Amino acid sequence: MLDKSPLPAAVNVPNDLAAHWMPFTANRAFKKAPRLLAGAKDMHYITVDGRKIIDAAAGMWCCNAGHGRSQISAAIAKQAEALDYAPPFQFGIPQAFELASRIADLAPAGLDHVFFCNSGSEAADTALKIALAYQQIQGQGTRSRLIGRERGYHGVGFGGTAVGGIVNNRKMFGTLLAGVDHLPHTYDREKQAFSKGEPEYGAHFADELERLVNLHGASTIAAVIVEPMAGSTGVLPAPKGYLKRLREITQKHGILLIFDEVITGYGRLGFAFAAERYGVLPDMLTFAKGITNGAAPMGGVLVRDTIHDAFMSGPEHVVELTHGYTYSAHPLACAAGLATLDIYRDENLFERAGKLEPKFADAVMSLRGEPNVVDIRTVGLTAGIDLAPRPDLPGKRRPDLPGKRGFDGLNSAFHDNDLMLRVAGDTLALTPPLIVTEDQIGEIIEKVAKVIRAVA
């Protein structure tokens, strides 16, 4: 007789996936072969069918302390019981002030004030708006241009999309913001291929800012925003000396410099912030993701004291910056943030990432020579592995092929090799939680090798 008893599924699995329009996802392909997750602990996800998947992506560059940290979930639960929500406009909660102070303590001296929001996108837009407003209150209202960089990613708000430089993220959305220009990206495979850490070649790409100043006039430019390591485009570490040079040129011309540290913040490059690794002090620094270990949505902007203080004038009953979000400094996110910073401190996770960096780099570079690997880049606990796109058929152009090998790699990793990684086009990105062990690095690399062979 046919056994009709239900399978012992790990969780209740939905049988209709239609309603949820998933973000940044190939929806139709996903719904044919879903990658559904039900749990997570330390270095692993658990799928709905009970498989243990090693996480080589820290979720999405978020879970630097690994998954299922009970200290964080307990802090969130306790906070939810005590105070579920408080209006952040004209009212405050002690935890928001404490968290801001602790973030400022972690940051390079001078970045002393924190404006909270809920995501990296909001952080980018907030920083751009503060830059424009600051220039205006300084009597420099002609400075309204914003400069981003090709291949940059600053989230999906109109501001972040406009200064971002990934064509597929831009081309569907009209003219975006007026008065935006872009520096060239810093990648030259011929000169930089298989670099460990910051490539030797490429500091001069910063000089292109002088060209933009000559084109537009310094008096029209408010700010430049860059990621110290461009993550979402496929891991492009800054060339040696590049960020210092960008700082010198911005300073010379009175242009603000914003570092988007949504990925590089909270230990990814072996320091609390990449600004420290590179010895460069930006005027503003955006963060998100790692601040709560991914356990609650939160983002923010660290702001130089001189910029903050410039706003603190005029009648005291008047709002100094007409900007903010209903969920800025949300109590649950503040609780998660404080517990997360405790873990980072108590487990020395930033230093741990720095110590593991050379071993991680050697391990990833061992994939050189696997089929179709055309470049590998590493910095901190992060790596990008470029695979050659699937070739066109003889005499036939197939525009659907770029990104296909990467996408197949994502599926092979998840469905056949119990591995979570990220892909950007045909680049595989590895960004494990900072708690990863040397053995687990070895395991990840073995699995990645299998994935690369599977999509050869």
What residues make contact with ligand PLP under the rule CB under 6 A?
Answer: 119-121, 124, 153-155, 227, 231-232, 260, 262-263, 288
SS3 210: helix
Alpha-helical (H) ranges within 347-437 are: 349-365, 404-411, 417
What's the longest Cα–Cα distance across the chain? 84
Give me the least distance between CB of 232 and ligand PLP, in Å please: 5
Give me the least distance between CB of 171 and ligand PLP, in Å please: 19
Q: Are 367 and 355 in contact (CB under 8 A)?
A: no
User: What residues contact residue 402 under an 8 Å CB cut-off, 6+ apart?
Assistant: 389, 425, 426
Of 223 and 288, nearer to ligand PLP (C-beta) is 288
Report which residue type is found at 337: G
H helix or E strand, kind and range, residue 424: strand 422-424
Q: Answer positive or negative: Cα dihedral of 90, 94, 95, 99.
A: positive
Give me the least distance between CB of 127 and ligand PLP, in Å please: 10
Of the candidates 371, 362, 380, 385, the residue with the CA atom closest to the CA atom of residue 432: 380
Give me the least distance between CB of 450 and ligand PLP, in Å please: 27
Report which residue type is found at 437: T
Give me the least distance between CB of 317 and ligand PLP, in Å please: 33
Of 107 and 452, nearer to ligand PLP (C-beta) is 107
Length of the chain (residues) = 456
Closest residue to ligand PLP: CB criterion = 120
Of 116 and 412, nearer to ligand PLP (C-beta) is 116
Report which residue type is found at 372: N
Of 262 and 280, nearer to ligand PLP (C-beta) is 262
How far is Cα 3 from Cα 180, in angstroms, rounded to an integer? 64
Of 218 and 406, nearer to ligand PLP (C-beta) is 406
- Structural tokens at position 180: 């935006």
Give me the least distance between CB of 274 and ligand PLP, in Å please: 11
Residue showing tokens 């994939």: 367
Of 124 and 410, nearer to ligand PLP (C-beta) is 124
Give me the least distance between CB of 78 and ligand PLP, in Å please: 25
Q: Are 113 and 303 in contact (CB under 8 A)?
A: yes
Q: Which residues pair with 123 in a beta bridge?
A: none
Give me the least distance between CB of 282 and ligand PLP, in Å please: 13
How far is Cα 330 from Cα 79, in angstroms, rounded to an integer? 10
Give me the least distance between CB of 117 and ligand PLP, in Å please: 9
Give me the least distance between CB of 163 and ligand PLP, in Å please: 10
The dihedrals phi and psi of 105, each to the nearest 5 degrees, come to -65, -35
Give me the least distance between CB of 264 and ligand PLP, in Å please: 8
Report which residue type is found at 171: K
How far is Cα 190 from Cα 376, in angstroms, rounded to an integer? 13
* Number of C-beta neighbours around residue 193 at 10 A: 15
Q: Are 221 and 155 in contact (CB under 8 A)?
A: no
SS3 358: helix
How far is Cα 9 from Cα 99, in angstroms, rounded to an integer? 40
CB-based burial label for 425 (10 Å; 0-12, 13-18, 19+): middle
How far is Cα 89 from Cα 367, in angstroms, rounded to an integer? 51
Of 57 and 441, nearer to ligand PLP (C-beta) is 57
